[in-house]
Amino acid sequence: MKKLLLIPLVGLGLQATTLTQLFDAVQKAPETQINEVITKNMKINKESVKSALFPKISINASIEHYNRDMSLVPLTPTESKKEQLNKNSLPFGQNIAKVGIGLSVPIFVKEIYENKKKMEDLVNAVKLKSKIDLLKRDALLIGLLSNFSYLENSKMALKSKQFSIKETIKSIKTGVDAGAIPEFNLIRLQDALTQIDIKISDIETKINSIKSEIYKLTNIVVDYPMNITFTNYQKDDFFALQPIEWTIKADEKNVDAQKAVRWYPKLFLKANISKGYVKSYNTDDIDERNIANIGLYLQWNIFDKVANKDIQKAKIALIKDRLNLIKTQKDLTAEANKFTYDLVLIKKEIVSAKKSIKLKKELLKSAKIAFSNQAMTVDEYLGYETDLSNAKATLAGLDAQLKETVANLVFIYGNDFKSIFKEQK
């Protein structure tokens, strides 16, 4: 088992009582909240694209100085002549100030529509990626809890071995004191107890590391292992493919959007209302005039090399994600086949391991009698003790492997961990 960083956990976090609490804690962890923020940000980006379809209203103002008298507003010859006859101020001067309101409405901008569709697909992809991350953490939790149980059962197997050896020491102590049994046997058994203590301490260190990892994942301290059971998982399409499929759809929309930039015209409705002020050159009075305009404006890029490159980049991204889908499909198929086959083998091994433990218990009983009668050496006897202890640890390890394998399949098929894994009281 991979050795983890030892972190003391005394007094930290909360005490978990159920597996459901731990699943809920994983869902509320900062990692999940970060994914939720990313999803919200993507939704905002989608709304930003949609907002580009709405009219834009702006206030504009300017003060300009010219080196010669300029017209504030255009005047026809008739208007100019009329103003001069009436000796009115003419809207000409070197300093012109304007203030107004502008309106711009996109009538047809195809890339906005394509980008809107693309963002909708990307939001779906991000949501699914967030769910996949949550499933990964659920699978990790099951793996940690399974290894916790394995280590605890291995420790109990060693303690059982320790107790058995102590009982044997009691049974031969009189014989050793009387000189009927060599003192070497007693010393050898006592040394075996010391070695067991060392192994138990090593397991305790590993258990503490497992607790640390569970705390990192859930912010909850788990002091005792949980008896976890599971029901049948549901075979379905590979869940990890779904965000890639949505990303591919977004890539296709992106190609269309880049083509729209290059090939499609843009049509806008624009209007502007403004009031201008100028110090008339002929009267020195402030002349103010209103002017308004509205019109349709067409923009069509006949040649845009940058846009051509953007189309190529979008196509390459699409090809890359399609290849990624094929690769991921292949990898997940291989993993699903492996875990399914492993599941069958582990279940068979568990049946054999249980039978082996029964046989080794009987062998140990006989070995104890033979050793007490000096028909067996101390090391031969200790071998039977070790065999039984190792068989118990092997069974615990197989049980942990079984749960981890099921957890991997639950993750691959995107099942709900809460509905599959339960805590048996």
Which residues contact residue 324 at a Cβ distance below 8 angstroms, ignoring those fewer than 6 apart? 244
- Torsion angle (degrees, nearest 10) of CA 29, 31, 33, 35: -150
Q: Could you give the angle at the alpha carbon of 228 between the alpha carbons of 222 and 230, nearest 5°?
A: 145
User: What pLDDT is recorded for position 207?
Assistant: 96
- Tell me the one-letter amino acid at 106: P
Distance of CA 350 to the CA centre of its chain: 34
User: What pLDDT is recorded for position 307?
Assistant: 72
- Residues in the chain, overall count: 425
User: What pLDDT is recorded for position 234?
Assistant: 92
User: What pLDDT is recorded for position 52?
Assistant: 77
Residue 67: how many other CB atoms lie within 10 Å = 6
Please state the three-class secondary structure of the chain as a single string. Answer: CCCCCCCCCCCCCEECCCHHHHHHHHHCCHHHHHHHHHHHHHHHHHHHHHHCCCCEEEEEEEEEEEEEEEECCCCCHHHHHHHHHCCCCCCEEEEEEEEEEEEEEEEECHHHHHHHHHHHHHHHHHHHHHHHHHHHHHHHHHHHHHHHHHHHHHHHHHHHHHHHHHHHHHHHHHHHHHCCCCHHHHHHHHHHHHHHHHHHHHHHHHHHHHHHHHHHHHCEECCCCCCEEECCCCCCCCCCHHHHHHHHHHHHHHHHHHHHHHHCCEEEEEEEEEEEEEECCCCCCEEEEEEEEEEEEEECCCCCHHHHHHHHHHHHHHHHHHHHHHHHHHHHHHHHHHHHHHHHHHHHHHHHHHHHHHHHHHHHHHHHHHHHCCCCCHHHHHHHHHHHHHHHHHHHHHHHHHHHHHHHHHHHHCCCHHHHEEECC
Please give the model's pTM, rounded to 2 decimal places: 0.81
Contact 406, 138 (CB under 8 A): no
d(CA 275, CA 168): 108
- Tell me the one-letter amino acid at 213: E
d(CA 92, CA 115): 47
User: What pLDDT is recorded for position 392?
Assistant: 96
Q: Could you give the angle at the alpha carbon of 131 between the alpha carbons of 255 and 49, nearest 5°?
A: 35
Contact 132, 243 (CB under 8 A): yes
Contact 163, 200 (CB under 8 A): no
Distance of CA 370 to the CA centre of its chain: 59
User: What pLDDT is recorded for position 195?
Assistant: 96
d(CA 391, CA 157): 9
Per-residue pLDDT of the chain (425 residues; tens, 9 = 90+): 333 333 333 334 444 469 999 999 998 888 878 878 888 887 787 777 777 778 889 999 999 998 888 887 887 777 777 766 667 777 888 888 989 999 888 888 888 888 888 889 999 999 999 999 999 999 999 999 999 999 999 999 999 999 999 999 998 888 888 888 889 999 999 999 999 999 999 999 999 999 999 999 999 999 999 999 999 999 989 999 999 999 999 999 989 888 887 888 888 889 999 998 888 877 878 878 888 889 998 888 777 777 788 889 999 999 999 999 999 999 999 999 999 999 999 999 999 999 999 999 999 999 999 998 889 999 999 999 999 999 999 999 999 999 999 999 999 999 999 999 998 87
Expressed in angstroms, the distance from the first to the final Cα of the chain is 27
Q: How many CA atoms lie within 13 A of 332 on its CB side?
A: 20
Place of tokens 């905002």: 44
Tokens at residue 381, please? 């006897």
Q: What are phi and psi of 267, to 5 degrees?
A: -125, 125
d(CA 403, CA 412): 14
d(CA 40, CA 46): 10
Q: How many CA atoms lie within 13 A of 194 on its CB side?
A: 6
